[in-house]
Structure 1
Amino acid sequence: MTAFLEGCRAAVGAAHVLTAAADMAGHLTDHRRRHTGAALAVIQPGSSAEVAAIVRLCRQYRVPLVPQGGNTGLVLGSVPDTSGAAIVLSLTRLHRIRSIDVVNDTLVAEAGCILKNVQDAASAANRLFPLSLASEGSCTIGGNLSSNAGGTAVLRYGNARELCLGLEVVTAEGEIWDGLRGLRKDNTGYDLRDLYIGAEGTLGIITAAVLKLYPRPRAQLTALAALRSPAAALELLASVRERCGDALTGFELMSDVCLQLVRKHFPALRAPFGKAHPQYVLLELSDQESEAHARQLLEGVIGAALESGLVDDAVLAASLGQSAGLWQLREHISAAQAAEGKNIKHDIAVPISRIGAFIDTTDRLLAQAFPACRLVCFGHLGDGNLHYNVSAPAGMSDEDFLARQAEVNRVVHDSVHRFGGSISAEHGLGALKRQEILRYKSPVEIGLQRAIKQALDPLNLMNPGKLI
């Protein structure tokens, strides 16, 4: 591989071809530190042309490549296997905001742009880029699009696919497809943009994107409501949507187990209520009129829910600081779980109307199969996406619990399937769920996906072993 690496050095500069173990280490281990792979090198191109040059070299020498952004994925999609045959293609040097068009409400960002930097660039132009994730300070736009990321605002604005109008992509042949068209209507054939979004780098490499912007809301207000059940949360969702319409931008469900873990491991975060409740909903309104109008809407809908007995208690944030504090309760759940010990995570989606029945049924099935296991259920109720996680019973070692991961997954995923859902809502399949998905998709659907992969990447060099 000496000639290949020399070619890479000539294409991107010797300083951006990392081969020393210490230099590569941070690129080889996944975000949750479950897997460490090996690589021939980590290559850091600085432009789309350099990405294309590296892909052509990979094609010439038959070297697999693993595209990587912020390496914040949760399904082993952005790290190599242990063979050491592949390179990691790090896109973090592609970090320019190329342009902002406030009349067209679009922003062109390169794939290595940190999500938070894109949000800030939009804000500086008095616009909103609404994609919002817990990892927004380190995840990148390319990764967001490759995994079709969701986040907390999908209810109002949609997921990453719906926030993208056009792409620039380096194909598996090393050609650059310039699809950076900021058009909301373009009916001229197959939608290649949607093909590459969510493909996890298995068909080509996204190098830049045209992203949708929105007017910045004049007010954002947050409330936390305490309820008796997920079914009550669904009733509240219907009520808020009927009264507030598109002003409802966030609707997050959290069980009491979630808040207990947060309070245990982050005691500085204040308990919102004087006593525990079975379920909580964190909801946010964004208003284009005024803060007074937003507060009137929020107070009205929460007041009606309290009066009817649908909600047992509620807290309305009176300031930005209080709002941030309520959101921190939600955003610290994953970190609290990690501090508590190993857990078995599920990123699932079911039709919104069936979420209550899914939780009740699956809770019961798990309690029967794994007595005393702890169910840490939270997520984006407004769009049907739950992080339905299972923690070990008190006193059981992580190793003993994780040894039963396949059994736990079978109970959860089979239940998801029965309720008409998906075993991956926003994290993707990566290497972690690549085999699992074969149990739930039809041979016709799998065959179509494999045909697309064969047509666009016949040498199977683009992120092999992932997704399909």
Structure 2
Amino acid sequence: METSAAASPEAFLAMLAGIVGASQVLTREEDVARHVSDWRRRYPGRARAVVRPANTQEVSRVVAACAAHGVPIVPQGGNTGLVGGSTPDASGTEVVLSLSRMNAVRSVDPLDGSLTLEAGCTVLAAQEAAAAAGRLFPLSLASEGSATIGGVLSTNAGGEQVLRYGNARDLALGLEVVLPDGRILEALTALRKDNTGYDLKHLFIGGEGTLGVITAATFKLFAPPRKVATAWVAVRDPQAAVELLARLTGAVGERVTAFELIGREALSQVLAHAGPGMRNPLADAPAWAVLFDVSEASARLDPTPAVEEVLGAAMDDGLVADAVLAATGAQAHALWALREHVPEAQRLDGPSIKHDISVAVSRIPAFIAEADAALQALMPGIRICCFGHVGDGNLHYNQSKPAGMADADFLAREDAVHDAVHAIAARLQGSISAEHGIGRLKQSALLHHKPAVALDLMARIKQAVDPANLFNPGRLLPRDRLSSHQEPSR
């Protein structure tokens, strides 16, 4: 939608410059380049401008100005998303609202066990702020050095420690949000209990910036682990991985902090592309490996003997073929580096097709078996790069092209691959998106697999909160899905 006749494009940009300063309204190609294309370079676009406010009041005024002139807004954090949800479209009409300057840690309260940060803080900065106060901020993911708090909340990111601490939604206590009309919802509470009606923060967590701009958040903090047992384990197959998880949780309970499944292709790509510092922890490259942490907050207890006992019994029963326990923090870091480099290694390997599905933990073996068979029948020789958070049922089930296939031929069949994978996840009562969101990439799958009543409620909420559809339009819910919910003209 174009600006009103009362404000030319130049006058509108001048208005924004009057709010945030001329140097923070970016329009030159070289200045906006990193903001208008996603990390995978799958969704390049054009922006009317990139606006970088310094505080919540400036965000409020920018949003109000855009609302008054019918200018759509694309909120953006670290721009590390994988589904095309935080970059502008090709129209050149959208304003990218970058929160990168809003990166202050507002407070850390060890007694409350809470941390309040602005949306532009990186996940790594949040971890460091908590650690400086002797506490743990447990959200952890491969992109934590660049992914921002606003972004991980908007997609309800999970990461590697969901098994013990929950995902972003579980960690958030309160939010500060700028609404589509410029008003500010101030709900930065550290309360653990507040039963006063609808818990509004959950509208915005996972909302992908379609209902409001998260400008700050308060999170739960935890006691940091004093001892961690980290193991890399060769397992017989995915069923053995699931059974090993059950044995570990039976032995040590909630101390199982992370439990990751890594297929041979994923490890091979890391060893091939991630640099000379990476090496196979075991003598052989197993078809399937598990990487897990068992952590203990008490300095008086050591989880290692219990882990060794579980692994020994699992070896005797044929679930585990080999295993290595990290003897030092540096060794544990090296093991986790293998897992964390999988996404970058696959990018360096060439074009890829990505999935972020979830099923009940017990159904992971069935999903892998069915999906592997379906894709090999669809595209013989396709390489399955399967890894992820098997402890909470979330797999990053990705594909790389068969040897010798042209990039264009591989990507031309992307929709067919998506359809096959998503159909299997749905048949197993799973989800097509566990933590990456919908964005633009998964809209057709959302419409196909989400129940009609749920889609109707989502559209009604969007219409109620953002009737002009100016916040991240065309992401999550397609534009035409909202048109039927527009109020009749009077």
- Number of aligned residues: 468
2:320 to 294, 311, 321: 311
1:285 is paired with a residue of what secondary structure?
Answer: strand
CA–CA distance in structure 2, aligned partners of residues 338 and 14 of structure 1: 36
Q: Which residue of 2 aligns with 1:355?
A: 364
Q: Which residue of 2 aligns with 1:243?
A: 251
Q: Which residue of 1 aligns with 2:148?
A: 140
Q: Which residue of 2 aligns with 1:33?
A: 41
Deviation at 1:258, TM superposition (A): 1.4
Matches within 5 A, 1:48-67: 48-67=56-75
Work out whether 1:75 is the aligned partner of 2:83: yes
Deviation at 1:151, TM superposition (A): 0.2
Cα pair 1:115 1:141 within 8 Å, conserved = yes
Deviates more, 1:296-305 or 1:358-367: 296-305
Q: Which residue of 2 aligns with 1:419?
A: 428
Q: Which residue of 2 aligns with 1:441?
A: 450
CA–CA distance in structure 2, aligned partners of residues 256 and 35 of structure 1: 30
2:290 to 250, 267, 281: 281
Deviation at 1:308, TM superposition (A): 2.3
CA–CA distance in structure 2, aligned partners of residues 297 and 109 of structure 1: 37
Deviation at 1:321, TM superposition (A): 1.1
What CA deviation, in whole Å up to 9, does each residue of 1:410-463 have, x standing for no partner?
111111110111111100001111222101012211110000000000010001
CA–CA distance in structure 2, aligned partners of residues 421 and 291 of structure 1: 40
1:270 to 242, 266, 279: 279
CA–CA distance in structure 2, aligned partners of residues 216 and 371 of structure 1: 47
Deviation at 1:15, TM superposition (A): 1.1
What CA deviation, in whole Å up to 9, does each residue of 1:299-328 have, x standing for no partner?
222222122222110000001111111111
Cα pair 1:48 1:207 within 8 Å, conserved = yes
Matches within 5 A, 1:63-462: 63-265=71-273, 266-290=275-299, 293-462=302-471
Cα pair 1:93 1:112 within 8 Å, conserved = yes
Letter in 1 for 2:191: L
Question: TM-score scaled to structure 1, two decimals?
Answer: 0.98
Letter in 1 for 2:432: I
CA–CA distance in structure 1, aligned partners of residues 300 and 379 of structure 2: 48
Cα pair 1:374 1:392 within 8 Å, conserved = yes
Letter in 2 for 1:166: G
What CA deviation, in whole Å up to 9, does each residue of 1:194-230 have, x standing for no partner?
1110001100100000111001111122101101110
Cα pair 1:247 1:287 within 8 Å, conserved = yes
Q: Provide runs of 4+ in structure 1 moved above 4 Å.
A: none
Deviation at 1:3, TM superposition (A): 2.2
CA–CA distance in structure 2, aligned partners of residues 238 and 145 of structure 1: 30
CA–CA distance in structure 1, aligned partners of residues 99 and 30 of structure 2: 19
CA–CA distance in structure 1, aligned partners of residues 248 and 106 of structure 2: 39
> Any unmatched runs of 5+ in structure 2?
1-8, 478-490
1:127 is paired with a residue of what secondary structure?
Answer: coil
Letter in 1 for 2:62: I
Work out whether 1:43 is the aligned partner of 2:43: no
Work out whether 1:21 is the aligned partner of 2:29: yes
CA–CA distance in structure 2, aligned partners of residues 172 and 335 of structure 1: 35
What RMSD in Å do the two structures reach over aligned CA positions? Answer: 1.0
CA–CA distance in structure 2, aligned partners of residues 318 and 267 of structure 1: 22
CA–CA distance in structure 2, aligned partners of residues 290 and 95 of structure 1: 33
Cα pair 1:201 1:463 within 8 Å, conserved = yes
Deviation at 1:275, TM superposition (A): 1.7
Cα pair 1:219 1:291 within 8 Å, conserved = no
Deviation at 1:292, TM superposition (A): 5.8
Q: Which residue of 1 aligns with 2:14?
A: 6
CA–CA distance in structure 2, aligned partners of residues 284 and 161 of structure 1: 22
Cα pair 1:220 1:291 within 8 Å, conserved = no
Letter in 2 for 1:231: Q
Letter in 2 for 1:392: K
Deviation at 1:267, TM superposition (A): 4.2
CA–CA distance in structure 2, aligned partners of residues 99 and 22 of structure 1: 36
